[in-house]
Amino acid sequence: MIENFDKEKCLDIYRLLKMSRRFEQKTLELGGQGEILGSLHVGVGQEAVHVGIALALKDGDITFRTHRDSGQMVAEGIDPKYLFAELMGKINGYCMGLGGSMHLPGISGVLGVNAPMASGAALAFKLRNEKRVAVGQYGDGASNLGPLHESMNMAAIWKLPVVFICENNGYAVTTSIKYSSLLENLSDRGKAWGIPGETVDGMDVMAVYKAASRLIERARSGEGPAILECKTYRYEDHSKSTANLVLSYRSKDEIAEWMKKDAIAGWAGKLLDEKICTKADLDKIDELVEKTIEEAVEFARNSPLPEPEDAFKHMYATEIKGIPQKGW
């Protein structure tokens, strides 16, 4: 067995990897058809990070994800039908259609804020004496922002139960990390605050799982924060609106080389090589995933849109004099 996981668990990891990818691929498809409006930031190619983190969490732990982590939400067990409904602006989405892709639960469109939010949650856990851990995720593009560094330093001083996870996919929109940092490994920045930092292969789900599990349990036991850098890659462009830039800053050859390290193909190959399952087992899961995704999309399509007056609900001020009369 792999990591003492039985066949059922190994196949479930494959299911999570496939669900994470197919969910995000489907959002791009729906966006291209005009069923999802606005831009989309997908993490297709980064599934090993998303699933590895999800596997390492325990009930009560909390994650503050990046705008490229909707696939991780699926891996964590969040129902895709309500996610699709949210992305389509439907009232029974997780945020009643008001959030969209950049403001799904636990996701912020503001770069670098996930670290301070995770530190705040971790402080609450510590003050309440709760054995819970917060995970703050960020990309290499956010790794140079001030709030992130300030919160990491504060978390180190107070030994908060938080793990900071950098999803280093090599590019901040179109800027290579080679131009924005002299470090080979961004996890080395932990030395500045006196906390451990590790760098792992972010295309290997077991490498992410083992490192995340160890650091999360370390934080849970009261030993304080740590940084985990996962070197990964996004196959799609930064967002739907920048797809025409895909070859202006990286080559087809570079993308093809990273695709050779694909996490899903790698995990499937390992299961087959070690005779943990058969090709028929994997095909059955593929069919199940496709069925689940299609049913979720149909649920979202058949869900109602909000009424115009719903725009004024769930606000700090529920009545704003004059605005409805002006047609806003």
Looking at residue 327, what is its pLDDT?
A: 40
Q: In this predicted model, what pLDDT tens digit does every residue of 90-147 receive, in sequence order?
A: 999 998 888 888 888 888 888 889 999 999 999 999 999 999 999 999 999 999 999 9
pLDDT single digits (tens) 174-229 = 899 999 999 999 999 999 999 999 999 999 999 999 999 999 999 999 999 999 99
- Please give the pLDDT value at position 319: 58
pLDDT-wise least confident of 134-138, 254-258, 303-307, 310-314? 310-314
Higher pLDDT: 308 or 275? It is 275
Exposed / middle / buried, residue 226 (Cβ in 10 Å: 0-12, 13-18, 19+): buried
How does pLDDT run across 55-72, given as a tens digit for each residue? 999 999 999 999 999 999
221-249: average pLDDT: 86
328 pLDDT above the threshold of 60: no
* Domain membership flag for residue 316: yes
Indicate the SS3 state at residue 201.
strand
What is the domain range of residue 150? Answer: 7-326
Looking at residue 324, its pLDDT comes to 52
Q: Is the pTM of this model over 0.85?
A: yes
Summarize the confidence of residues 259-271 as an average pLDDT: 98
| In-domain check, residue 2 | no
Q: What percent of the chain has pLDDT over 70?
A: 93
Neighbour order of strands in the sheet with 162-168: 62-64, 134-139, 162-168, 226-231, 197-201
Average pLDDT, the chain: 92
Number of domains in the chain: 1
**Of 168, 217, 212, 265, nearest in space to 52 by CA:** 212
Structural domain includes residue 81: yes
What's the confidence (pLDDT) of residue 230?
98
Mean pLDDT for 226-242 is 91
User: Is residue 100, in this structure, part of any structural domain at all?
Assistant: yes
The answer to whether 310 touches 89, Cβ cutoff 8 Å, is no
Mean per-residue pLDDT, 283-296: 98
> Is residue 1 included in any domain, yes or no?
no
148/118 Cα distance (integer angstroms): 10
- Return d(Cα 77, Cα 34) in angstroms, integer: 27
Scanning the chain, the segments in alpha helix (DSSP H) are 7-32, 47-56, 70-75, 80-87, 114-127, 146-158, 177-180, 205-220, 252-259, 263-273, 279-301, 323-326
CATH code assigned at 265:
3.40.50.970
Supply 196's token pair: 């451990």
Would 302 be classed as within a structural domain?
yes
